[in-house]
Amino acid sequence: MSKEAAFAAVELDFTAEATRSAIEELGPPERELLRGYWVDRARGELTTALTFEFMLADLVEEDAPRELVTLAETAIADEHRHVDWCLRWANFIDNREPAEPELSGTRPLELDGASAHDNRLLRTVFGCCFSETVAVHVLERSHALITLPSVRRLNHEHLKEEVGHARLGWALAGWPALTVRDRQMLGRYVPEMTRLVRMVWQSSARAEHGGLHELGYLSSAIIDPACDEALDGVILPGLAKLGIAT
């Protein structure tokens, strides 16, 4: 299925009878919790879109290959579409007050002691090798619990795009133009990036609610082990294979 066809299918899912029935069966507390989750997720997607805009500018400044620039451009469009999907779900659950996301931050990440050049590399490595790789593992764990076809399709499309976003960071980390000094610098910041990705993904405890997991709700019971799995099984070993000390 093409990307365009997949998006059209997701749109149709919002009006499917099974989707309406699943929402109607929720009690008021569950509706409020689920709606709040999708609004919060929209906020995260909007903020991520902005971080990819920073990455795009960084890649252009560093004269990165066109393929990497294209991945960043695609990611920006993907994240804005994710915002729209999350808001559609939030408003589908309760449209009495239209959901509006807010940016969680408006400044590019800058790590202490890093030069302007260093930060341009660090932003993409952190945003993609770390955070987007964790996102892939989180959505994979969630996918196994989702039963509603409309949410399952949405999660599947989102997951495929997150894989593409993670690829951007790994492509940069493996870029032959990175010097030995660049790789050593990245290695020095691995502990700090590990701390930051845990803070981003694991610091906000979200209570488990089994029934809502089936509708795409991400609780800490899903997020925390997925983050650990990504770091221990993919991120740190992957960086080490690329000559970046972990």
The answer to whether 10 and 92 have CB atoms below 8 angstroms apart is no
Length of the chain equals 246
pTM strictly above 0.85 = yes
| Domain locations in the chain as residue ranges | 3-92+112-241
pLDDT of residue 237: 98
Top-level CATH class of 3-92+112-241? mainly alpha
pLDDT of residue 4: 62
pLDDT of residue 1: 54
pLDDT of residue 54: 98
Return the closest-CA partner of residue 171 out of 69, 52, 45.
69
DSSP-assigned letters across all residues of 155-188? HHHHHHHHHHHHHHHHHHHT-TTS-HHHHHHHHH
> Mean pLDDT in runs of 10 for the chain (246 residues)?
60 71 87 91 94 98 98 96 88 82 82 98 98 98 90 89 97 97 98 97 83 90 97 98 94
The answer to whether 128 and 165 have CB atoms below 8 angstroms apart is yes
pLDDT of residue 103: 76
Distance CA 184, CA 202 (A): 27
